[in-house]
Structure 1
Amino acid sequence: MDKTITTPSAPYLGGLALAIGGAVLFSAKAVIAKLLYRYHIDAVTLIAFRMLFSLPVFAAVALWKMRGAAPLSTGDRWRIVGLGLVGYYLSSFLDFLGLQYITVGLERLILFLTPTFVLLISATWLRQHIGRLQWLALAVSYAGIVLVFVHDLQGGSNVLLGSALVTGSAAAYAAYLLLSGEMVKRLGALRLVAYAMCVSSAACIGQYFLLRPAAGLIQPLPVYGLSLMNGLLCTVAPVFMTMTAVQRIGAGAASQAGMIGPVSTLFLGAVVLAEPVTSWQLAGTALVLAGIYLLSSAKKANTANMANAAKTKNGT
């Protein structure tokens, strides 16, 4: 009996590579931020430089998507302003503030809990049911965070402050994901992201000029180089790489590939920043990844059950 071996197609492998590359590049922004902090700049200046370099690209995409598209309603304009302020301005600002106090490994693990925040917000405010497997996924994920947090807490009380700030960042981005779901269907992911990033960029740059003198934009040459990498390689590139990956291999496979993010950050921190990789961190990372995997499995199971129930109801 012949057995047919199915091999992944080239487009699928290309999409998978894009998803992995996007996850690694996006995670690398924490390492770039740590390098920038060595030049004694603060989070306000760091995020302003990041957006100054990424804004031209997102503005160009926004103008391109605007051509031939139906004009936005007044309600949609205000929603985009709100999404840009919550999802990219507030989330990014809290993240970079927190990075001043914690390691890049812990920061990435906390941010990786965003799907669990989406689940908790859905259960709390939207009154959605949480199944046993989802509760187990939450418990496993948070056990991993506690493991790494308790270990890193030996570095000082600022770890608590930094962890709280990054947790706020993850919660803000989870709120963005929930609020943007309906608009993504109507406007498209690329158009919505471009618009929201333009709003976020305006907020970050405007914040700088409100809180800091214009002379602070004069920095050593390495600050401009690192900020260019932060804006283009760690912001613009992963956004488009991830979107292309989702189109090629689907959101489920792309999110699974994104699980490389915390692992890559852990080892990038060790190589570039000389942050130690301990057994506690590895164990915590494994628990968080296992929890997110369980959560994605539970979501797939729920989706399949809903589809089967719909077929039964329709008599198909």
Structure 2
Amino acid sequence: MNSRYVGYLFCGLAMIGVGSTVVVSKAIAAGLPPFSATALRFAIAFPVFIVVMRVRRVRWPRLSRRDAWLAIAQAGAGSVGYTVFLISGMKLASAADAGVIAGTLPAVSAAVAMLALGERPAPALIGAIALATTGVLACTIHFDQLSSSRGAGAFTGNALVFAAVVCEALFILLNRKLSRPVDALPLSALMSGIGLAVAIVPACFERPWTLPFDANALLGVVYYALVPTVAGFVLWYAGAARVSGAEAGLMTALVPVSAVALAALVLHEPVTSSQLAGVACVLAAVWLATFGRRLRAPSTAG
């Protein structure tokens, strides 16, 4: 098989795994508190990353004091913050809505970079942010339901999921601020280790050992740790090495598609026309954010 197509396949499988986290978080939220689930996720993933590093003979990165603090902030936002907000949100939000919101990450990352770094966006990137915003609004804002407790709860759940996306965008931004780039494998191991250290203390206050045993929640955490976290890392970077950055970025469009499809197939959630419209807007936003620069006409001398 052509190496390029293998790259598409690996990146696509990784993003389908990311989309599945929205669905599996529904089961986790029903049986475990968010910090406890987060700590358990990294307690499982961290040793696996250590083994992979030893097999591949990869060493730990040497970080300056400034980069060490940035790494801790990265783990707090992108590892712990993302997981805690996502699981908390899935107690209230539908998996299909959450999947659409999760798919806005490329546009949200661009917006965070604009606000935090003062970057001047291309017109296509502004369009991508607008489309992503429209997609979120299409599937989450239902004025006829906000007066009811159920509708208000769903709105709160969607807001928590969006907070998770913002945390992941902050992770990307903080990674760009490192004085020296860190390879993906040791960075993933580092984020898992720090994430475990950050989440374990608040997890103890949740006293998960006093809760009834929930096999589905525990299996969900094991799946989250091994498939999207570890296997997703391996697949994504193996695929990204075979395709261009823009082509790999476009594969993130599979996140909302897989999340909505899995919500319907696994959780039997009805997929509404507004959710489909939201998916369409988010897919268009991902395409613009990925290929928008190529659409700009070259300037001519004159």
For the superposition of Structure 1 and Structure 2, which TM-score range results when normalised by the shorter chain? 0.7 to 0.9
Equivalent of 1:74 in 42, 46, 65: 65
Shift of 1:62: 5.5
Partner of 1:204: 199
Q: Please give the per-residue CA displacement for 1:83-103, whole angstroms capped at 9, x wherever unaligned.
A: 111211112211111111111
Partner of 2:290: 296
Partner of 2:74: 83
Counterparts of 1:153 and 1:140, CA distance in 2:
23
Contact kept, 8 Å, 2:60 with 2:186, in 1: the verdict is: no
Shift of 1:12: 1.2
Shift of 1:49: 2.6
Mapped pair 1:137 → 2:119: no
Mapped pair 1:256 → 2:250: yes
Q: Which secondary structure does the structure 1 equivalent of 2:242 belong to?
A: helix
Question: How does 1:140-155 map onto structure 2 within 5 Å?
Answer: 140-151=131-142, 154=145, 155=150
Structure 1 runs not aligned, ≥5 long? 1-8
In structure 2, what residue type is equivalent to 1:136? G
Instruction: Please say which of residues 115-124 and 213-222 is displaced more in the overlay.
Output: 213-222
Shift of 1:235: 1.7
Instruction: Please say which of residues 173-182 and 216-225 is displaced more in the overlay.
Output: 216-225
Q: Which secondary structure does the structure 2 equivalent of 1:100 belong to?
A: coil
Q: 1:217 to 1:49 in 2, by over 3 A?
A: farther
Contact kept, 8 Å, 1:109 with 1:285, in 2: the verdict is: yes
Shift of 1:41: 2.6
Question: How does 1:168-207 map onto structure 2 within 5 Å?
Answer: 168-183=163-178, 186-207=181-202
Partner of 2:162: 167
Contact kept, 8 Å, 1:151 with 1:280, in 2: the verdict is: no
Instruction: Please say which of residues 177-186 and 252-261 is displaced more in the overlay.
Output: 177-186
Mapped pair 1:110 → 2:104: no
Partner of 1:42: 33
Instruction: Please say which of residues 293-302 and 232-241 is displaced more in the overlay.
Output: 293-302
Shift of 1:82: 1.7
Equivalent of 2:235 in 241, 257, 267: 241
Q: 1:65 to 1:263 in 2, by over 3 A?
A: same
Q: How high is the TM-score relative to the length of structure 2?
A: 0.87
Counterparts of 2:280 and 2:18, CA distance in 1:
20
Counterparts of 1:62 and 1:78, CA distance in 2:
23
Partner of 1:26: 18
Q: 1:300 to 1:201 in 2, by over 3 A?
A: farther
Contact kept, 8 Å, 1:24 with 1:260, in 2: the verdict is: yes
Shift of 1:266: 0.5
Instruction: Please say which of residues 152-161 and 278-287 is displaced more in the overlay.
Output: 152-161
In structure 2, what residue type is equivalent to 1:233? V
Contact kept, 8 Å, 1:44 with 1:93, in 2: the verdict is: yes
Q: Which has the larger radius of gyration?
A: 1
In structure 2, what residue type is equivalent to 1:284? G
Partner of 1:285: 279
Q: How high is the TM-score relative to the length of structure 1?
A: 0.84
Contact kept, 8 Å, 2:28 with 2:87, in 1: the verdict is: no
Structure 2 runs not aligned, ≥5 long? none
Contact kept, 8 Å, 2:102 with 2:255, in 1: the verdict is: no
Q: 1:220 to 1:98 in 2, by over 3 A?
A: closer
CA RMSD between the two structures: 2.7
Instruction: Please say which of residues 116-125 and 266-275 is displaced more in the overlay.
Output: 116-125
